[in-house]
């Protein structure tokens, strides 16, 4: 019970940090935070769907994979994390929270915060949604940090998004992903008990 409570507290923190990074620093410049973020930006661009709802809608489309490969507990945690992230995007989508207008400053702050938020979620054995579901599945199967597959998967979405909106976005998005996925791998490898993912502990115990 205590471990479950701790896990959901961390998922809440990770989701809110991720949502703040998107709403305050990345989305105002149409910089996709990842595969799901890129598709959410496109839905907003094409259909004027609110970014928070578009992000929630895109993320839930991959929950079938989370249930099949990551288990019910991880899927429930992913659903919760996606909902918290979408609420975070909605809560922080106000000019009050925009301290800067420079795209490169926003890119730097947003990428670091995004990596911290996603890293916290992945360390709890849940996905941040979108391509994070697939990246976490690959990480579990190959027993590697999820940063690299996350970067490669999101790259294809960035190219498509940039071809629709503006090509400079792909450079900014790739830079953002490079920084954020480095943060993900750093947090994923960090040996701190309070952010340790359940499946990591199980994997180590099997090897003993």
Q: And the tokens for 127?
A: 């996905």
Q: Can you give the pTM of this predicted structure?
A: 0.72
Q: Please, is 4 exposed, middle or buried when counting C-beta atoms within 10 Å of its C-beta (0-12, 13-18, 19+)?
A: exposed
The domain segmentation of the chain, as residue ranges, is 2-200
Q: What is the mean pLDDT of each run of 10 residues along the chain (208 residues)?
A: 78 94 86 77 84 79 68 76 88 67 88 92 78 76 79 79 77 87 82 50 40
- The H or E element containing residue 68 is helix 63-70
What are the phi and psi torsion angles at 196 (to 5°)?
-80, 135
At residue 171's C-alpha, the angle toward residues 165 and 177, to 5°, is 105
């Amino acid at each position: 019970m205590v471990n479950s409570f701790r896990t959901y507290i961390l998922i809440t923190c990770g989701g809110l940090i991720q949502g703040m990074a998107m709403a305050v620093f990345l989305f105002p410049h149409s910089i996709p935070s990842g595969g799901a973020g890129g598709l959410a930006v496109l839905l907003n661009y094409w259909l004027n769907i609110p970014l928070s709802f578009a992000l929630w809608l895109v993320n839930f489309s991959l929950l079938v994979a989370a249930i099949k490969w990551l288990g019910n507990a991880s899927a429930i945690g992913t659903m919760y994390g996606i909902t918290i992230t979408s609420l975070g995007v909605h809560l922080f989508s106000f000019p009050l929270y925009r301290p800067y207008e420079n795209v490169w400053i926003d890119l730097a702050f947003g990428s670091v915060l995004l990596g911290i938020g996603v890293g916290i979620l992945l360390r709890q054995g849940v996905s941040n949604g979108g391509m994070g579901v697939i990246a976490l599945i690959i990480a579990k199967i190959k027993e590697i940090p999820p940063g690299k597959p996350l970067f490669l998967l999101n790259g294809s979405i960035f190219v498509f998004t940039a071809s629709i909106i503006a090509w400079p976005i792909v450079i900014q998005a790739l830079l953002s992903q490079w920084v954020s996925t480095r943060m993900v791998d750093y947090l994923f490898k960090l040996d701190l008990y309070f952010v340790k993912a359940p499946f990591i502990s199980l994997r180590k115990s099997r090897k003993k």
